[in-house]
Amino acid sequence: MVIAKQTRKPIMVDFMAEWCPPCQAMEDSTFNQPNVIVKSEKFVTVRIDVDKQPDVAVAYNGNARKYGGVGIPNMLFLSPDNRVIKHVIGYHNADKLIAVMDSAMTIFSDMGS
């Protein structure tokens, strides 16, 4: 949150696990796409392995639970002051993720942050 406040960027939290096939598919075919990499620079990105970082996952998932669930892959977009902007669950290819990121950025801009 500190970096997000300093940079005035929204936060993109990716909940994942190594054993999760859709998470691995996103790792292999979505997050490595140049357009996704460039778009990600507009966010403070946080990746949470729910198995290796359970305490962190629980802390962030308090927000996720309010907005439809905690399955993985699970992406939560937050404002620097911890307001939920957007929440999506499941596999997203590069085009879908770009659309989600654009939507999150529009909502964030409309918040006046």
Average pLDDT for 57-70: 55
pLDDT higher than threshold 90 for residue 29 = yes
Confidence at residue 59, expressed as pLDDT on a 0 to 100 scale: 63
Confidence at residue 1, expressed as pLDDT on a 0 to 100 scale: 60
User: pTM of the prediction?
Assistant: 0.82
pLDDT digits (tens, 9 = 90+) for 31-63: 999 999 999 999 999 988 888 876 766 665 555
**16 or 64, which is more confident:** 16
| Domains held by the chain: number | 1
For residue 85, the domain's CATH number is 3.40.30.10
Confidence at residue 8, expressed as pLDDT on a 0 to 100 scale: 87
Which residues constitute the domain of residue 94? 2-110
Confidence at residue 66, expressed as pLDDT on a 0 to 100 scale: 53
SS3 string of the chain? CHHHHHHCCCEEEEEECCCCHHHHHHHHHCCCCHHHHHHHCCCEEEEEECCCCHHHHHHHHHHHHHCCCCCCCEEEEECCCCCEEEEEECCCCHHHHHHHHHHHHHHHHHCCC
Confidence at residue 28, expressed as pLDDT on a 0 to 100 scale: 96
pLDDT digits (tens, 9 = 90+) for 6-26: 668 999 999 888 999 999 999
pLDDT digits (tens, 9 = 90+) for 85-94: 999 999 999 9
